[in-house]
Amino acid sequence: MIKDFSTVFWGYLPSTNGPYKVHEKVNAFIGPSGHGKTTIWDGLRLMLGASHFESKRTFSFYVHKKSNWAVVRVAFHNLPVNGVRPFEAARKFKDEVTACCRIYKNEQGSWARDYYLFDGEFHDLKDLHFNTKAYSEVALTVGKYLEDLEQCLGITKEFRNLMAMSPDTIREVVNASPHAIFHLIFDLKGTKDYKKRYDNSKQRLSEQEVSIERAEEEMKQAQSRFEETKQKAQKFRLYQAAEKEVNGTRLRLKKLEYFESQETLRSIEEGLIEVEEMGKAESDKVNKLTVKITAKQAEIDRLEDEYNRLDALEEQANNDIIRYTNDKTRQEPEVEKLGQQINRLKQIESQNMDDLDKLKDILTEGLEKKRLDYSQGQAELTQIKQKLSDLERNLLPYKEEAKKFRPILEVNQIPFIMLADAISVKPDMRKWQEAIEAYIGNNRYRIIVEPDNYLPAKKIQEKARYGARVSLPKSGKELPQRKDIPYSSIRSAINITYQGKVEGYLDRLNHVYLVETVEEGHALQARGIESITLEGLLQDNDGAIHMKYHTLCCGKLAIEEEKKRAKELLPKKESIVRELQDSVRNAQAELDEVKEAIKNQELLAKLPEMQQTYSLLQDGVEKLSILIEETAVKRTEAKKEKEEIRRKELVASEEKIKFTENKNQAVQKAADLSRRYKELQNKLDSHVFSVERTLAEVKALGLSDDDIAFIAYDVQGSAFMDPQGNLLTSKQMGNELNVLLLDKEKLYDSSVNEEVVRLVEAQEGQVEFLAKNLRTLKEDRSDLERTCDDLLFQFRGHIKEIMKDYITEFESFADLLKASAKGKLVEVTPEPETWEIHLFIGYDGKEPVAVDGPHLSSGQKASTSLMILLAALSENNNGKTTPIMFLDEPKARVDDDRGNEIGQLLQVTDIQYFITHQQGESLKSIDWIDHAFTCSACEPGKEFANQLILKKRARRNLQ
């Protein structure tokens, strides 16, 4: 355990003349937050190997701000325990061992630490820093220092992890799984040698399994190589036999090729003589046939000339007949027509031509007038139909120039309002529709555009010659009806849309009144008031005038009225047009009769001339008939002569064709024989080289001239015959050789030679050796498995023993807290890695419940968590070295009574505690803290805080 401690430049704790003595039981650092409790506490943890601190603080936080180094010193008791000093393993034999940690910045500017372990007392901390080399013999690396702590004080990695636990983490131990608590207890309480020996045994067994797998694989590969080499050796022997057979066959093939080349040479020479004789015979035959073909061709040419002469004669006769016939055909209708005309003229009476011409002029003038009337009527009818069609589609019947001007504005994308579109007569005033529109007149077609479009619209108006005004929007307002006038004004009789833009152009309508009779309007005129009657008579200060509306176009009522009138007018106009059409047709018929009479009188005057022409035409037709008959006789005679000549020409041509075919056959045969002769000659020339090649090949095989001469007799042997006794050809024998070569090639392996045969025996011995080695490895595995099972048994027994002791400690600690507890070890599988420990506790006389269940309060859970850890650290029954424990505010989250119960736990366990505690009234009721170190903050303007104030507290009797 720790005896005392001191520091230099560690936080704001000042240096002291002597170290701070600590108690063997409970030591507390007391003070409010920010007074350095944790800083001093972390310094002691640093001396036990801790490397991680609260809030991830680094050494720069702990070293005084005016220094770049610090030293923390701790003295450990080294008195014998059961005859053995704790630090004997580190060769320290005095009653006290001093450990120092020097924190400093290295050459790279990073924080580093070194440890020093002195046998006995040591206090000169500043000299340790400034004269470091003088202490090199006692200097330790971090790793060596941690190793010594574990060997001498039992400060393991697991204990340091526990030491690094935050208060929240410690309080959460109770909520850990049974499996995690089991491992936590074993890490703190168990002997690691059991686990290490068991893990090493498992590792060796695993390595043995790998060795067996490798040996089996090596054995398999060696066996495979042996079988492969054995097969190669057998294949090599077959290859040697095949090679011998190939060489024998190749010799026989060369002999046979030489024999065949000699036979072929003799055959070619005999063929050349035979082809030469046949070629001469065919040449003679060609010459004789050529003479006959020439004679026949001369005869055919003579007959062809005669045939062409007769053909021309026949062609001329045909043309003459066609010409005569055409002339006759053309003249006969003229003769007939002229005869009929002469007969008709003989029956016509003579008339006065002047009277007929006058009558024609009168009828022509009348016809033209009737046609004009009909055309105008037709146009009016078309307009009425188009107007009715537009009205049926609710299209207003604007005048023509308005119809044309509106689309032009739309194409130029100029929005506009036509005054007629904005005006509609009220339904109860519909009888005044004509009078109202007659008064408004051409102003109905006024176009209103916005100022931005005013100039472009006027330019378009000029170009289109639009006769109504184009204006800007003009506002106005409707005046109330005058009470002294019993008639409606035109303005009150109509509805207006877009009033803000068009009303200004209709202001005058407020002062014009609608009357039914001229008398009513006359009376108003006498008063200076303007009016218009139903029939459209306007009476004003300038007199009276009848106003015409032409076409109604304002509003829906205008469409209905125009549609009604158009429907009434259409049948009347259709009847008028039909009457005009009939009058035109009758006038045309009368005019045609007069024109025919004039024509007949003109022809009647030419009757003598026509009769003379008729006589001449009739004589010409008779002469043409005679010429046609005479020419037809000549054509028939020429045709018969042509047929006879064509027959003779056909016979001569057939004979010529026969001679030509025979000649061509003879020429072809002669050419074939010539080509055959050349082929045989070329074959002979090339075969000479083949003969020489085969001769050279048999000589190359070692045959003498006598052997070569005897080849013709050799080939008669059975080796050159097929099963039927027929002589084999070189091609057949070559195929046999190819088969043998293919078989030989399949057997060939470049890696196989005589050495492979000798290698088979060596590989067989290797296979036997590997099999023996594999058996040995498997026997060793059996021994390892037994050893592993024994160590597992020991390991399991050790765990059961320490867990039994732990459960006993846990239950006894619960008694101190006036609680009941129990525990149970659960072996999930045979492997201890999977085991669990289930702990139960009951407070205030209640039955024990699972520590991680919902039935415990937060304070009870905090107490239980601490009790779980302390029971693992307590070694009352084993007599081991007293361990050291660090607890950060163990009373947090529990009341004072529960806190005092926790204090009792600290006092009854053989553990040296270093705790932190908040300053408060609760300290007055605490009597389980042995040494209380009061901490103070560094006051402004000072470099260090005050020294720790040690207060020793009397221990109460815990029996």
3-state SS, one letter per residue, for 42-87: HHHHHHCCCCCCHHHCCHHHHECCCCCEEEEEEEEECCCECCECHH
Per-range mean pLDDT, top range of 43-47, 344-348, 790-794, 922-926: 43-47
Domain carrying residue 510: 398-550
Structure tokens at 110: 């990073």
Asked if residue 331 is part of any domain, the answer here is: no
Q: Any idea which residue has 């309480």 for tokens?
A: 189
Asked if residue 13 is part of any domain, the answer here is: yes
Confidence of residue 474 (pLDDT cuts 50, 70, 90): very high
Sheet strand arrangement including 111-119:
20-21, 2-8, 69-77, 96-105, 111-119, 139-140
Among residues 353, 323, 497, 516, which one has the least CA distance to residue 429? Answer: 516
Buried/exposed 331-365: b ≥16 CB within 10 Å, e otherwise: eeeebeebeeeeeebeeeeeeeeeebeebbeebee
**Listed residues 550, 585, 606: the one ending a domain:** 550
CA angle 62, 66, 71 (to 5 degrees): 50
Q: Which helix (H) or strand (E) holds 837?
A: strand 836-843
- Say if CB 181 and CB 837 are below 8 A apart: yes
Asked if residue 406 is part of any domain, the answer here is: yes
Asked if residue 373 is part of any domain, the answer here is: no
Asked if residue 669 is part of any domain, the answer here is: no
Asked if residue 199 is part of any domain, the answer here is: no
**pLDDT value at position 954?**
53
For residues 814-829, average pLDDT? 86
Distance between CA atoms of residues 272 and 718, nearest Å: 34
Confidence of residue 877 (pLDDT cuts 50, 70, 90): very low
Structure tokens at 408: 């032009």
Distance between CA atoms of residues 204 and 198, nearest Å: 10
For residues 129-156, average pLDDT? 90
Buried/exposed 918-957: b ≥16 CB within 10 Å, e otherwise: eeeeebeebebbbbbbbbbebeeeeebbebbeeeebeeee
Among residues 509, 529, 533, 530, which one has the least CA distance to residue 519? Answer: 533
- Say if CB 922 and CB 894 are below 8 A apart: no
Torsion on CA atoms 539, 541, 542, 547, rounded to nearest 10: -30
Distance between CA atoms of residues 279 and 673, nearest Å: 6
**Listed residues 525, 550, 575: the one ending a domain:** 550
**pLDDT value at position 901?**
65
Distance between CA atoms of residues 703 and 718, nearest Å: 20
* Alpha helices (runs of H) in 426-498, residue ranges in sequence order: 433-440, 451-464
Structure tokens at 503: 């009303």
pLDDT reading at 539 higher than 90? yes
If one counts every other C-beta atom within 10 angstroms of the C-beta of residue 601, the result is 17
What residues have CB less than 8 Å from 345, skipping those under 6 apart?
A: 600, 603, 604, 607, 610
Among residues 534, 503, 507, which one has the least CA distance to residue 521? Answer: 534
Q: Any idea which residue has 């470049």 for tokens?
A: 750
CA angle 694, 699, 705 (to 5 degrees): 105
- Say if CB 342 and CB 615 are below 8 A apart: no
Among residues 82, 154, 186, which one has the least CA distance to residue 885? Answer: 154
Structure tokens at 771: 């099999």
pLDDT reading at 24 higher than 60? yes
For residues 21-28, average pLDDT? 90
CATH number at residue 12: 3.40.50.300
Q: Which is more confident, 469 or 576?
A: 469
Q: Any idea which residue has 């026997």 for tokens?
A: 779
Distance between CA atoms of residues 377 and 131, nearest Å: 139
pLDDT reading at 35 higher than 70? yes
**What is the residue-averaged pLDDT of the chain?**
82
**pLDDT value at position 6?**
94
**pLDDT value at position 417?**
92
Buried/exposed 631-657: b ≥16 CB within 10 Å, e otherwise: beeebeebeeebeebeeebeebbebbe
Chain segment 549-608, per-residue pLDDT in tens: 777 778 777 667 777 777 777 788 888 888 888 888 888 888 888 787 777 777 777 777
Distance between CA atoms of residues 1 and 23, nearest Å: 9
Total count of domains within the chain:
2
- Say if CB 324 and CB 627 are below 8 A apart: yes
**pLDDT value at position 98?**
96
**The 3-state secondary structure of 693-724, one letter per residue:** HHHHHHHHCCCCHHHHHCHHHHCCCHHHECCC
**pLDDT value at position 899?**
60
Per-range mean pLDDT, top range of 201-205, 488-492, 792-796: 488-492
Asked if residue 456 is part of any domain, the answer here is: yes
Sheet strand arrangement including 819-826:
819-826, 836-843, 849-850
Q: Any idea which residue has 């009818």 for tokens?
A: 381
pLDDT reading at 888 higher than 80? no
**Listed residues 500, 523, 550: the one ending a domain:** 550
For residues 167-186, average pLDDT? 80
Asked if residue 188 is part of any domain, the answer here is: no
pLDDT reading at 460 higher than 90? yes
Structure tokens at 559: 């469409």
| Percent of the chain topping pLDDT 90 | 19
pLDDT reading at 958 higher than 50? no
Among residues 928, 944, 641, which one has the least CA distance to residue 10? Answer: 944
Buried/exposed 427-448: b ≥16 CB within 10 Å, e otherwise: eebbebbbbbbbbbeeebbbbb
Q: Which is more confident, 693 or 439?
A: 439
Chain segment 207-225, per-residue pLDDT in tens: 888 888 888 888 788 777 7
Local structure of 492: helix, strand or coil: helix
